Chain A
Amino acid sequence: MKRGTKGNFHQTLAPMLFLLPNMLIFGLFIIVPAVQGLRMSFTEWGVFTQPRFVGLANFRELAGDAVFWKTFTNTLTYSFFTVLLIMIYSLALAMMMHKNTIKGEQVFRSIFYIPSLLSMISVGIAWRFILGDEMGIINYLIRLMGGNGVRWLTDGKLAMMSIIAVSVWAQSGYYMVIFIAGLQAIPNELYEAATIDGASNHEIFRSITLPLLKSTLLVVLVLSTIASFKAYELITVMTKGGPGYATKLIVQQVYQVAFLEDRMGYASAMSMVLMLIISLFTIIQFKITGKEQGHE
């Protein structure tokens, strides 16, 4: 499909000028740094020392770096459970609110969207206030009922669980909106026909809703996965990566090694691993949306 106009000199120069600011910014602040980051991963590089080419040394060191692998598996654990729970919970919310049949549906949707408006810093502050060992309201209620306080953020295993739960709370409303749009695109006649045929709710969900929602499910899967690999703020505020290394993710480790330990080359090698994972999922997303547009 060709659209647009072709014409005199002004009409060939104009689009270049319109594109200029964006192209400059993308070039100077994304493409050049990306190439630079790749180059840096093969060097020893500090703010105060001369860069030195070291070949694959950084990557060899990375392979045996226990802390890096801990942050790597933490990132995978965090990502896996956050994405899984977000998918289930946001789809469940959408299923309850996509038909425009019950009164106040719009109000409920807005309520569930509210956490997505908050910065991850504010979310972290709110939940640290709630989950505090001594003074948090949840432990207060537990003690009131005769129980012992739970160390939500200071116990190794629980801290990761708490972070995951808070991430799900904070983000599900956003994905709910995408699911609602997906559900509303499914023609109503299909449901009516199935009901007339006497299909149960469970059968309708399995044989109509899920298959027709496939592309939406994939979009949410990919978007939430990419978002989970970029997580930084919540952990900074809630646990600082602790206790020990229990909740430290790759991005935290990159920041620490680059800016606090001044080993920018080595930290760049870590970034490359992260970039590889994120690129993979972005390419999957392009493939899906590309296919979608092909059908239209």
Chain B
Amino acid sequence: MSKKSHTVVSHYLVLIILSAITLFPVLWVILSSFKPQSELFRVPLTIIPKTWTLENYANSLKAGNFVTYFSNTVFVSVTSTAITVLINLMAGYALAKYIFRGRNLIFSTMIATLMIPLQVIMIPIFLQLKNFGLLNSLWGIIIPPAATPTGVFLARQYLVNLPDSLIEAARIDGAREHTIFFRLILPMSKPIIATIAIFSFMWRWNDYLWPLIVISNNKKQTLQQALANFVGQLQINWSNLLAMTTIAIIPVIIVFLAFQRFFFSGITAGSVKG
């Protein structure tokens, strides 16, 4: 074997071993969720379930408010993403295509809010939401984090590169400003809309801290809160917990597999979440 093909083989070997380490925890959770309770901790442990069963899924769906948590999460993720895309694109458009006093100041202030993550303003945010009557309301999770500095940044960066002449031509034809935005700009912004939407959806689906601060009413909780509560109990029913965790993981993996290229280009363009 030549030296070169030798390096290629060892290169593959390293990648395969690291891939196995990377994937194992995820696969272990998913596979174990299909084992009957009696098999889960039975020695010797089996990687592939001896008996495949859906009983853990059936139990999770029946137990408590799991269906409510799931639909709360879907509602929050979808609504938030729609709002985030719309308002960040509007803001990005204003900052990219209009000249007005204070434009740079507004843009830098928005970006500077990156310095103030939720973790450092949890307490005043809680009080502010109380003032607005948004505690224990799903809108309290949806609206306050809907405007994101990263979203504005990405939208502005994309829209700056659209030619001004298109907008001017539309104005000469008598189009009003909002018509130009909704009929001309939005349809041309599909790639950046997809990027912002995907990252927003993933973030909202996985988010725990906002719901934790806003929601204390059991019926309004999200999936991640339900999982955290479940794992906080003294006696954990692992079979059910693993089934619920799998239900929480599958949607994000599907979104990823369907839209991979937006993930990688989005990360390099923004290098930040949101």
Binding site for B on A (CB under 8 A): 2-7, 10-12, 14-16, 18-19, 21-23, 25-26, 28-34, 36-37, 40, 93, 96-97, 102, 108-115, 117-130, 135, 137, 140, 169, 173-174, 177-178, 181, 219, 223, 226, 229-230, 232-233, 236-237, 240, 251, 254-255, 258-259, 264, 267-268, 271-272, 274-275, 278-279, 282-283, 286
Complex contact B119–A232 (CB within 8 A): yes
Q: List 16 A-B contacts (CB under 8 A).
A: A5-B167, A18-B93, A18-B94, A19-B95, A19-B106, A23-B106, A26-B113, A33-B121, A114-B253, A126-B245, A178-B268, A232-B209, A233-B228, A254-B119, A254-B123, A264-B123
| In-complex Cβ contact of B18 among A6, A33, A112 (8 A) | A112
Extra contacts, 14 of them, besides A19-B94, A177-B263, A251-B119 (Cβ < 8 A), are A2-B99, A4-B97, A7-B171, A10-B177, A12-B100, A29-B144, A36-B128, A111-B22, A119-B248, A127-B25, A178-B271, A181-B267, A223-B271, A237-B231
A/B pair count, beta carbons within 8 Å: 255
A30-B113, A121-B208, A124-B231 as given contacts; A96 in contact with B241, CB under 8 Å: no
CB-CB < 8 A to A5: which residues of B? 97-99, 164, 167-168
A3-B164, A4-B98, A237-B228 as given contacts; A30 in contact with B41, CB under 8 Å: no
State how many angstroms separate the Cβ of A272 from the closest Cβ of chain B: 8
Contact with A along B75-93 (1 / 0, CB 8 A): 0000000000001101101
A30-B116, A120-B206 as given contacts; A177 in contact with B267, CB under 8 Å: yes
**Complex CA distance for A233 and B22, rounded to whole angstroms:** 20
Complex contact A96–B14 (CB within 8 A): yes
A11-B98, A230-B119 as given contacts; A125 in contact with B22, CB under 8 Å: no
CB-CB < 8 A to B25: which residues of A? 115, 123, 126-127, 130, 169
In the complex, what residue of chain A is closest to B40 when comparing beta carbons? A135
Contact with A along B36-80 (1 / 0, CB 8 A): 000001010100000000000000000000000000000000000
**Complex CA distance for A135 and B171, rounded to whole angstroms:** 69
Complex contact A119–B271 (CB within 8 A): no
Complex contact B90–A121 (CB within 8 A): no
**Complex CA distance for A181 and B147, rounded to whole angstroms:** 27
Q: Is B188 positioned at the interface, with any CB of A under 8 Å from its CB?
A: no
Complex contact A128–B19 (CB within 8 A): no
List 4 tightest A-B contacts by C-beta distance, closest first.
Answer: A119-B206, A33-B124, A15-B94, A18-B94
Complex contact A130–B28 (CB within 8 A): yes
A26-B147, A275-B120 as given contacts; A118 in contact with B26, CB under 8 Å: yes
Q: Is B181 positioned at the interface, with any CB of A under 8 Å from its CB?
A: yes
In the complex, what residue of chain B is closest to A112 when comparing beta carbons? B22
Docked complex: B242-258 residues within 8 A CB-CB of A: 242, 245, 248-249, 252-253, 256
Complex contact B123–A268 (CB within 8 A): yes
Q: Is B1 positioned at the interface, with any CB of A under 8 Å from its CB?
A: no
In the complex, what residue of chain B is closest to A23 when comparing beta carbons? B106
Complex contact B248–A114 (CB within 8 A): no
| In-complex Cβ contact of A37 among B103, B113, B124 (8 A) | B124
**Complex CA distance for A247 and B258, rounded to whole angstroms:** 37
**Complex CA distance for A268 and B119, rounded to whole angstroms:** 11
Complex contact A140–B43 (CB within 8 A): yes
Interface SS of chain B? helix
In the complex, what residue of chain B is closest to A101 when comparing beta carbons? B8
Q: Is B260 positioned at the interface, with any CB of A under 8 Å from its CB?
A: yes
CB-CB < 8 A to B231: which residues of A? 121, 124-125, 128, 237
CB-CB < 8 A to A114: which residues of B? 22-23, 26, 253, 256
Complex contact A4–B11 (CB within 8 A): no
Complex contact B43–A233 (CB within 8 A): no
CB-CB < 8 A to B184: which residues of A? none
**Complex CA distance for A11 and B130, rounded to whole angstroms:** 37
A4-B99, A5-B98, A140-B43 as given contacts; A129 in contact with B202, CB under 8 Å: no
Complex contact B227–A125 (CB within 8 A): yes
Contact with A along B102-145 (1 / 0, CB 8 A): 01001001110111110111111111100010000000000111
Q: Is B34 positioned at the interface, with any CB of A under 8 Å from its CB?
A: no
CB-CB < 8 A to B95: which residues of A? 15, 19
**Complex CA distance for A93 and B116, rounded to whole angstroms:** 31
Q: Is B29 positioned at the interface, with any CB of A under 8 Å from its CB?
A: yes
A22-B87, A233-B208 as given contacts; A126 in contact with B113, CB under 8 Å: no
Complex contact A118–B249 (CB within 8 A): yes
Complex contact A129–B238 (CB within 8 A): yes
CB-CB < 8 A to B260: which residues of A? 110
State how many angstroms separate the Cβ of A115 from the closest Cβ of chain B: 6
Complex contact A126–B268 (CB within 8 A): no
CB-CB < 8 A to B87: which residues of A? 21-22, 25
CB-CB < 8 A to B100: which residues of A? 6, 12, 15-16
Complex contact A275–B90 (CB within 8 A): no
